[in-house]
Amino acid sequence: MKFARTKNVIQQFGRSLLLPIAVMAPIGMIMGITGALGQEYMIEKLPFLDHVIIQTIINSLRDISSVVFNNIPLLFAMGVAYGMSKNEKGIAVFASVLGYLTLLIVMNVYLTATGTLEADPEKLSQMGQGVILGIQTLRIDAFGGIIAGLIAAKVADRFYKLELPLAFAFFGGKKSVPIITFLFMIPVGLIIPFIWGFFTQFLLSISFIFMNPNYGVGVYWFAHRALIPFGLHHVLASVVRFSEAGGVYMIDGQNYIGILNATNKILFDLGPDHESWSRLMPDLTKYLASGQMLITLFRIPAIGLAMYHTAYASNKTIAKGTIITVVLTAFLGNVTEPLEFTFLFIAPFLFIIYAVLSGVMAIPLNYLDVSIGYIRGTIFDFGIFGLLYENTNWYQLVLLGIVNFIVFYAVFRFAIVKFNLKTPGREAAIRNVNLLKEKKYPEIASIVVEGLGGKQNIKHVDNCVTRLRIDLKDDEKVDLERLKDAGSSGSFMAQKNHIHVVFGPHVEFVRNAVDDEIKNG
pTM above 0.85, yes or no: no
Q: Which of 184, 211, 238 is the last residue of a domain?
A: 211
First to last CA, the chain: 33
Question: What one-character DSSP code corresponds to residue 173?
Answer: G
d(CA 303, CA 345): 15
CB 261 within 8 A of CB 141: yes
pLDDT in tens, 217-242: 999 999 899 888 765 677 688 778 88
* Residue 486 Cα distances to 340, 341, 430, 443, 469, angstroms: 19, 16, 11, 8, 15
d(CA 243, CA 257): 6
CB 246 within 8 A of CB 287: yes
> What is the arithmetic mean of pLDDT over 1-25?
66
pLDDT in tens, 448-483: 999 999 999 999 898 876 678 898 999 899 998 888
Residues 175 and 283 in one domain: no
CB 327 within 8 A of CB 336: no
Residues 29 and 163 in one domain: yes
Residues 251 and 194 in one domain: no
**pLDDT above 70: percentage of residues in the chain:** 88
Confidence check: pLDDT of 131 > 70: yes
Residues 230 and 198 in one domain: no
Q: Of the segments 102-106, 139-143, 204-208, which one has the largest average pLDDT value?
A: 102-106
Mean of the per-residue pLDDT values of the chain: 85
Of 167-171, 341-345, 484-488, the one with minimum mean pLDDT is 341-345
Residues 55 and 16 in one domain: yes
CB 196 within 8 A of CB 138: yes
Q: Which of 174, 189, 211 is the last residue of a domain?
A: 211
Provide the CATH number for the domain around residue 489.
3.30.1360.60
Confidence check: pLDDT of 203 > 60: no
Confidence check: pLDDT of 191 > 80: yes
Of 103-112, 166-175, 251-260, 344-353, the one with minimum mean pLDDT is 344-353
Residues 199 and 105 in one domain: yes
Q: Is 140 helix (H, G, I), strand (E, B) or coil?
A: coil
pLDDT in tens, 44-62: 778 898 899 999 999 999 8
Sorted by sequence, the CB contacts under 8 Å of residue 155 that are 6+ apart come out as: 92, 95, 177, 180, 181, 184
Task: Identify the sign of the CA torsion 266, 270, 275, 278.
Answer: positive
List 461's β-bridge partners, or say none. Answer: 470
- Confidence (pLDDT) at 41: 67
List 501's β-bridge partners, or say none. Answer: 468, 491
- Domain housing 504: 434-520
Residues 219 and 206 in one domain: no
- The burial of 334, by beta-carbon neighbours within 10 Å (0-12 exposed, 13-18 middle, 19 or more buried), is given as buried
* Residue 322 Cα distances to 14, 228, 315, 423, 464, angstroms: 28, 21, 11, 11, 21
- What is the chain's Cα-based Rg? 25
* Residue 510 Cα distances to 231, 323, 497, angstroms: 19, 20, 20
Residues 204 and 249 in one domain: no
CB 93 within 8 A of CB 82: yes
- Confidence (pLDDT) at 165: 87
69 catalytic residue (yes or no)? no
Task: Identify the sign of the CA torsion 40, 44, 50, 54.
Answer: negative
Of 256-270, 342-356, 415-429, 440-454, the one with minimum mean pLDDT is 415-429
Any idea of the CA torsion for 240, 242, 243, 247, to the nearest 10 degrees? 60
Alpha-helical (H) ranges within 131-215 are 142-159, 176-211
More confident site: 394 or 14: 394
Residues 351 and 494 in one domain: no
Of 127-141, 182-196, 422-436, the one with minimum mean pLDDT is 422-436
Question: Which is the catalytic residue, given 92, 260, 464, 470?
Answer: 464
Residues 380 and 394 in one domain: yes
Alpha-helical (H) ranges within 212-315 are 216-226, 233-242, 259-264, 275-285, 289-293, 300-310
d(CA 130, CA 118): 9
- Confidence (pLDDT) at 42: 75
Domain count, the chain: 3
- Confidence (pLDDT) at 364: 97
CB 259 within 8 A of CB 28: no
Largest CA distance in the chain: 77
CB 246 within 8 A of CB 142: no
Question: What one-character DSSP code corresponds to residue 269?
Answer: I
DSSP codes, 461-478:
EEE-SSEEEEEES-GGG-
CB 380 within 8 A of CB 332: yes
More confident site: 32 or 307: 307
Residues 217 and 362 in one domain: yes
- Confidence (pLDDT) at 151: 96
- Confidence (pLDDT) at 430: 47
- Confidence (pLDDT) at 283: 95
d(CA 336, CA 343): 12
Q: What are phi and psi of 33, to 5 degrees?
A: -65, -50
Residues 247 and 194 in one domain: no
Q: Which of 172, 196, 211 is the last residue of a domain?
A: 211
